Structure 1
C-alpha cells in the first residue's frame, strides 16, 4: 500500500492531475479543518468498527480516472479505506500521518520539521 506525504500532496493538488481527496473523519472533525477541495465521506467509525458497507456505497461518486488520496486523523484508519479502494480497482494512496501531519506541514510546526529531518523516526 502506498502513502503520500504532505509536501508531495500539496504539489499534486496544484497540478493538472490533481488527486481526488477523501476525508473519512466524522463530519464535525472535517468541518473544523480539512484539506481544501477534499470530499468528506464520514465513515471513520464504520471502518474502524469493520463495517465497510457505507464506504463502499460512497464510492459511486469517486471518479475512476483519478488517483484517490484517503485522509483520517493520523493516517491509520485511512489505510483500510485505501485497501478497499485498491480492491475496487482505484489507484489509491493514504496521506501519511493524516490530517495531523498535513496541519503540521501547513503550519510549519517544529514537530513536523523534526519528523521530516529524522526521516520518519518519530511517530
Structure 2
C-alpha cells in the first residue's frame, strides 16, 4: 500500500548503493510488449513541451524533470493522485537518469515502479529500428 514504508526503511533504501544498483529497469521492447496489454501506467517526467512534441502513447505527463534534477523530489507529490496504486508505474525521462529519481520517490511512497532503460531516446531508437526492420523484411520478401 502506498505510503506504508517506515521512515528508517526509506532512509536505508535511499542511501544504499546496493539498492540503487538493483533498481528495477525495463527495456523498450519489453515495455512495448507489456504496454499493448495495458499492464502498466507510464509516467513521463519530461518537461511539458517535450512531452507535447512526442511521447509514448498512453503515457501521462508529470513535468517535474527540472525539479527532480535539482533534487526537489517533493515536486512529484502533486501528481500522486493521478497515479494508480495497484499498477506498476514505468517512469520515463529523456535518457533514463532523472526517471530513476522518480522511480526511487515512487517506491519510497509504496508504489511498484520501474525505469525505462534509455528513456524516451531509447524508446524512439527502438521504434525506428522496429519500423526499419519491418520495411526491410517486407521488401526482402518482395525482391527475393
The answer to whether the superposition gives a TM-score over 0.5 is yes
- Report the counterpart of residue 33 of structure 2 in structure 1: 11
The aligned length equals: 108
Aligned match for 1:83, one of 79, 104, 112: 104
CA deviation after TM superposition for structure 1 residue 52, in Å: 1.6
CA distance in 2, matches of 1:69, 1:56: 16
- Report the counterpart of residue 64 of structure 1 in structure 2: 85
Aligned match for 1:106, one of 116, 124, 127: 127
CA distance in 1, matches of 2:78, 2:48: 17
CA distance in 1, matches of 2:107, 2:129: 32
Higher helix share goes to which structure?
2
- Report the counterpart of residue 115 of structure 1 in structure 2: none
2:110 aligned counterpart, secondary structure:
coil
Moved over 3 A (4+): none
List alignment gaps of at least 5 residues for structure 2.
1-22, 131-144
CA distance in 2, matches of 1:95, 1:26: 17
List alignment gaps of at least 5 residues for structure 1.
110-123
Give the TM-score taking structure 1 as reference length: 0.85
